[in-house]
Amino acid sequence: IQTDAAINRGNSGGPLLDAMGNVIGINTLVVRGTLSSGEIEGLGFAIPARVVEQTARALLDEGKIERPFFGIVHQSITPTLARRAGISEDQGVVVLRVAPDSPAERAGIESGDLLLAINEEIIDAQHPFINLLMQHPIGETVDVRLLRDNEEQRVRVTLVASDE
């Protein structure tokens, strides 16, 4: 969660509250300084409360956290690539590398593919690839919509447990 709530140095780990006093996240990071575009002051980030709850529950119940593994290295789509593909700049990710013998490779995903959606949930700034991926349990098969050579395709990827 991105927030402009005041987070003082050393105060990470405190609750992020909504206007009603409900805990909606745990403050983790505040960014201060300058970028080429100007000053940054008080840009904070918090882990959503539901993620903290799920993680704590898994640690208490299982003693470990298992996350789904997809098997790609990716980055946001550049404006030039988006124009060429005829899609929005904030939609999707481009696959830079596919891990050998990974779920992505077994499904036929290739370097250069533009991944657009997982189970019809659009990958964009509000719904980053990793966040959408983490919503699905290990063993689930997800439908991935992608663009390859400007042609839309669908592949099915069965998620496995990450080794890391």
pLDDT in tens, 95-110: 999 999 999 999 999 9
CATH of 68-161, one of 2.30.42.10, 3.10.129.10, 3.30.530.20, 2.30.110.10: 2.30.42.10
Q: Name the pLDDT band for 67 (thresholds 50, 70, 90).
A: confident
Q: Average pLDDT for residues 42-69, to the nearest whole number?
A: 87
Distances (CA, A) of 11 to 22, 62, 63: 18, 29, 27
For the segment 115-128, what is each residue's pLDDT rounded down to a tens digit? 999 999 999 988 99
CA nearest to 73, candidates 131, 125, 107, 112: 112
Asked whether residue 80 carries a pLDDT value surpassing 70, the answer given is: yes
Distance between CA 28 and CA 33 in Å, rounded?
17
How many Cβ atoms from other residues are within 10 Å of residue 149's Cβ? 8
